[in-house]
Amino acid sequence: MRHARPARPPLLALITAFVLSACGSPPADAPTTPGRTLDNCGRTVRVAEPPRRAVALNQGSAEIMLALGLADRMVGTATWTDPVLPELADANARVPRLAENKPSFERVLEAEPDFVAASFESVLGTGGVATRDQFEKLGVATYLSPTDCGAKDNSGDGDGVRATALTMDDVYREIRDLAALFAVEGRGEELVAGLRRRLDAATEGLDASGASVLYWFANSESPYLAGCCGAPGVITAALGARNVFDDTREEWPQVNWETVAERDPAVLVIGDLTRRSQTAETAGAKIAFLESNPVTSRMRAVREKRYVALSGQALNPTMRTVEGVERVAEALRRFGPLG
């Protein structure tokens, strides 16, 4: 059990400032600002002015903010699965990393944020860093990626179940929402347009209708494999391929290896993660397991070494899902006909 500690001065100062601001009234002639308001996952997000002290609780949210040129308005990031995109490394180096995984609520408040964003309800919700209500009671605006709400049910014990398939439009909405809240709408449109161009280029002229694919995120004992409708579903649909577990709407169901071997996918897309929270995180560890396990070693994709390594962020609903499309498309072209 973690023992309670006295509140540190920065946290006390933050709470005091919020209380004073709530009790005070501006002068009659004080200038007013219209602020910015948007609907987000069943809530209304309001900011009186563009945030100046933002915290991104997931790598996906952090990379969008960095790509929008907002490093100078960020005071922390957390929950990383992979190295940051190379083109964002310099900007990222200027932003404190609060934790490699989920930080404590206290640690986030010590950064004195005025805005908190997350990719997943498991981080910004019950059982995560804190709920949105907990932040908002302290005057901290919150934002949850639309890729993790709406048609996605997160009430169970797993990674959620989708009623309808995720699309890149959900990611584009997140980019545009954050750009609007930070008053950099033009940068948001440029980022979306660039991602659209990359998708078009990656899939042009590709016929992958004969390719069956399996997506393995992590864990060798009881592997997390992609269902039909999350970010891997975006990749599969863009390429015209088939996910061998497209008969489940669970985001990342845990499936035994005997069932995997029965479905015998032609291509294995495997997560190459740098975090340390599950077994077989890296692509190297996954391949070593596949080639030594008596069940999986007989699969055709293993025998013919048809592996595609992707970052965790490319397998999550993020702007890097486009990277997933590009890399899987490149591999399918290299592997040739797989029907």
Pairing of strands 97-99, 152-153: unpaired
Given a cut of 80, whether residue 28 has pLDDT beyond it is no
* Domains of the chain, start order: 36-197 (3.40.50.1980), 207-335 (3.40.50.1980)
What rounded mean pLDDT belongs to the chain?
90
Kindly report, residue by residue over 207-221, the tens digit of the pLDDT: 898 899 999 999 999
Percent above pLDDT 70 for the chain: 90
Given a cut of 60, whether residue 5 has pLDDT beyond it is no
Confidence of residue 232 (pLDDT cuts 50, 70, 90): very high
Average pLDDT over residues 269-297: 94
Average pLDDT over residues 293-320: 97
DSSP state, residue 256: -
pLDDT computed for residue 35 by the predictor: 87
Average pLDDT over residues 64-79: 98
Given a cut of 90, whether residue 179 has pLDDT beyond it is yes
The sign of the CA dihedral 168, 169, 173, 175 is positive
Instruction: Tell me which long-range contacts 293-302 makes (C-beta under 8 A, separation of at least 24).
Output: 293/257, 295/257, 295/258, 295/260, 295/261, 296/257, 296/260, 296/261, 298/261, 299/260, 299/261, 299/264, 299/265, 299/268, 300/264, 300/266, 301/214, 301/264, 301/265, 301/266, 301/267, 301/268, 302/268
Percent above pLDDT 90 for the chain: 84
pLDDT computed for residue 247 by the predictor: 96
Query: Which range, of 31-35, 132-136, 161-165, averages the lowest pLDDT?
Result: 31-35
Residues 170/175/176/177 CA torsion (nearest 10 deg): 90
Pairing of strands 97-99, 74-78: parallel
Report how far residue 301's alpha carbon sits from residue 24's, in angstroms, rounded to the nearest whole number: 66
Partners of residue 142 on adjacent β-strands: 116
Report how far residue 322's alpha carbon sits from residue 195's, in angstroms, rounded to the nearest whole number: 7
pLDDT computed for residue 147 by the predictor: 97
